[in-house]
Structure 1
Amino acid sequence: MSDLRTHDVPAAVDPDGWTLSVTGTVDRSLRLTPDDLASFPLETAADDFACVEGWVADGLSWRGVRVGTVLDRAGLTEGSEYALVRAMDGDYACSFSLDRLRESILALELDGESLPVEHGGPARLVPIDSERNCWEHIKWVSAIEVGETPFSDADTAKDLALSRIE
């Protein structure tokens, strides 16, 4: 397994009861189980992970579902341009433009094995564009809310990540 570091798993994270909801300005709200997600085509993305805390995990291999594939299943309504991705713990969220989010992967595996809960399993958002920041790798993704305007007031990921720097 990789040298990707972990933080404590919040008590609210229950991988056994996990589902992914897709709501907001979509044609069809979705509630996907792990089996549902595994039925989508899987893709692999390999890269280093550099954390704002100053450490790097080299050569990680993430395998999962392209977020755009999930959004296509939900069907985006005209005017949809943004999404808020929420973690299962309810405290961590990050806002994205749909253009960026569509290219990201919902990782189900890390280095050829099922994604362990301490690394964000059952599903972790892995942005793969060159503009990504470490705090955008949302662990325990449980909800994607699509909207027409940015969700900046609800974007807590950056603040929480930067608060860990000593």
Structure 2
Amino acid sequence: MTDLETHEVPASVSTDDWRLQITGAVERPRQYTEGEIRESRLETFTQDFECVEGWVATGLDWKGVRVGTLLDEADPVDEGYGLVRSMDEGYACSFRLDRLRDAVVALEVDGEALPVEHGGPARLVPTDDGRDCWESVKWVTEIQISEEEPTKDDTASDIALSRID
């Protein structure tokens, strides 16, 4: 399948009854099942994944829905931030909304359902240049929209870098 490295799946991760919520500064809060996301306009794109640990997985084929498509249904504030939360206890990463819109909630990699070891059932995959590996949030469960930039809850960088041996 893929040459992404695997790490231990945290005990807090359970894919039973998984849902993705869009909450916060939106007109219409939303909740999606995997099936509902699959009914959206799925896209496929190829991208390398480079980790701060020094390894690179080249030419990964990701398939999922653009975050912007999901946000359009929730009608968020015009300018703001999205805090993307994971099932991984406290793991979250913030993005400006204009940047987050282009990211993908991926359900597949290399033609197969995204395994839990790689963040399945859904993983946020930023698509812009200059992205950092910890921004690819595994086991994504919530996108919380706010007008103010999140600070104390944005833990992705600290947690990811602390896990490097």
TM-score band by shorter chain is over 0.9
Deviations 1:106-152 (A, max 9, x none): 00000000111110001000000002100000000000000001112
Deviations 1:4-37 (A, max 9, x none): 0111111111112210010000001111111111
For residues 99 and 74 of structure 2, what CA distance do their matches in structure 1 show? 17
1:72 Cα deviation from its structure 2 partner: 0.3
After superposition, residues 96-135 of structure 1 pair within 5 angstroms as: 96-135=95-134
What's 1:77 paired with? 77
Q: Among the aligned pairs, what percent are the same residue?
A: 58
| Contact preservation (8 Å) 1:43, 1:64 | yes
Runs of 4+ residues over 6 Å off in structure 1: none
Amino acid at match of 2:101: R
After superposition, residues 12-161 of structure 1 pair within 5 angstroms as: 12-78=12-78, 80-161=79-160
Normalised by the size of structure 2, how large is the TM-score? 0.97
For these two proteins, the number of residue pairs brought into alignment is 165
- In terms of fraction of residues, the more helix-rich structure is 1
For residues 27 and 104 of structure 2, what CA distance do their matches in structure 1 show? 22
Structure 1 residues without counterparts, runs of 5 or longer: none
1:77 Cα deviation from its structure 2 partner: 2.9
1:82 Cα deviation from its structure 2 partner: 0.4
Instruction: Classify the secondary structure of the residue corresponding to 1:71.
Output: helix
For residues 89 and 47 of structure 1, what CA distance do their matches in structure 2 show? 24
